[in-house]
Structure 1
């Protein structure tokens, strides 16, 4: 699928612009335009949406998003070497692609986007989890985004969608399920990328809920969950003893046995505990 838009195949783009992936930037480029178009389709109907993309690199997913009809794409790219390649994409889609050279952890994109907004990105491995947590924990909910369609290492993707009782269940799963519906929509082997990473990857699609699934103060819930999973092998009465002197009573009030461990506690129970702790 070299010619979804009359632009050169991505291997040629990388060769022309000298874009060898940098490990320091967490870069692994996805060169198959069939795959990038498939990922773009997982984001849903983009024709009425602005799309925020983080780490476009040579522009594979960017081209997929635009070819699939995104109203407009705002791409934030830290690596200045990629800017000439992205400028060629912008020229092929006049008025529909804006590229910002900057660090996604420092750039505030909201002034440059018009709702409704969706996020779609093959996230750099070294900042992916931090960005997801930021998007799931804004001060105001609903958030600026309708949905997130994000590539992660497979292990991280499994942590986002994990159920109670599973080894992968923890803080990420609770943050995601409290305020969003999350599911893995695509798996990709290492050989799909250049250079191939040592791990498999997966695309997770998260849809924002209009309000959190259960009532709880976000900061209290975050603290309770963090303390519980920081010592996940301990019984909760021990892991959470710093929260309140009567923590056993509060656990029981939330329907949790003080001898339970964090990985067996459901989201609903954690939210009840957050309310009991705040109260």
Structure 2
């Protein structure tokens, strides 16, 4: 016997009292066509185990479950949404697993078997820390298709010596090939946010670096961009021996952080790591 048709998202929200909460950074995407388009950006999904964070009423969740994905694991902090997501799981023959909890505390590698992909309309207030955490274990994922505020998305894909280039661009591009895949206006969401949003598609590089090198890169970029108006010979002083470090990397101390390529930052991180022993 076929499952009864799903209620519309508007009906689902009304039934479960899912008015968006500002404190949780919630802006619901209710357009089924847009949700399907986002799911398609993460293709191919055949046989993949997909992590979704902050599904809310489940618009994107429905689109992912309508794809050939083997399983969707949805991590949701808002308890109000859990019952509605459980109903969705019943409709799709148990291919949805719902985890109530904070995605910042979830070990995605332990939660999902390989092959894994992440597809998520991230809550605005935790998007960046979630991405940084996933970059540290990017080798576990085939791809990450993530929605951010457009300004954050631009910071992820930015090139050196441009307005948005900074620490997030260096760390993201060190671990992944990143591109802007889709922009969405405020009116696509309920309630409309004050800014545009954008989807970034990230594909981890085939070779996973030593975790210690990524930690060194985080340290170097924190120092360099923490005082980005200063010359590197000043901004990197907190690392100790800044001028010797820059000389060994063949980088002029009078340059500023935003002019360095990802490769140059990587060279500095390698030297910092080697100096540490």
Quickly say closer, same or farther: Cα 1:214–1:90, change in 2 above 3 A. closer
Q: How does 1:1-279 map to 2 (within 5 A)?
A: 6-138=5-137, 143-211=139-207, 217-245=213-241, 247-277=242-272, 278-279=274-275
Quickly say closer, same or farther: Cα 1:168–1:128, change in 2 above 3 A. same
CA distance in 2 between partners of 1:111 and 1:178 (Å): 24
CA distance in 1 between partners of 2:94 and 2:53 (Å): 19
Q: Which runs of 5+ in 1 are unaligned?
A: none
Aligned-residue RMSD, C-alpha: 1.8
Q: Deviations over 1:106-157 (max 9, x none)?
A: 233433311000000001111111010001023xxx6221110000000000
Aligned residue pairs total: 271
CA distance in 1 between partners of 2:129 and 2:210 (Å): 24
CA distance in 2 between partners of 1:244 and 1:102 (Å): 40
Q: Which runs of 5+ in 2 are unaligned?
A: none
| Conserved 8 A contact 2:139-2:208 | no
Q: Which runs of 4+ in 1 moved over 3 A?
A: 109-112, 212-216
Q: Deviations over 1:183-238 (max 9, x none)?
A: 11010000000000011000000001122589982222111111000000000000
| Conserved 8 A contact 1:50-1:70 | yes
TM-score by length of 1: 0.93
CA distance in 2 between partners of 1:87 and 1:220 (Å): 42
User: Partner of 1:7: helix, strand, or coil?
Assistant: coil
Structure with higher helix content = 2
| Conserved 8 A contact 2:39-2:60 | yes
Quickly say closer, same or farther: Cα 1:214–1:18, change in 2 above 3 A. closer
CA distance in 2 between partners of 1:270 and 1:248 (Å): 15
User: Partner of 1:258: helix, strand, or coil?
Assistant: coil
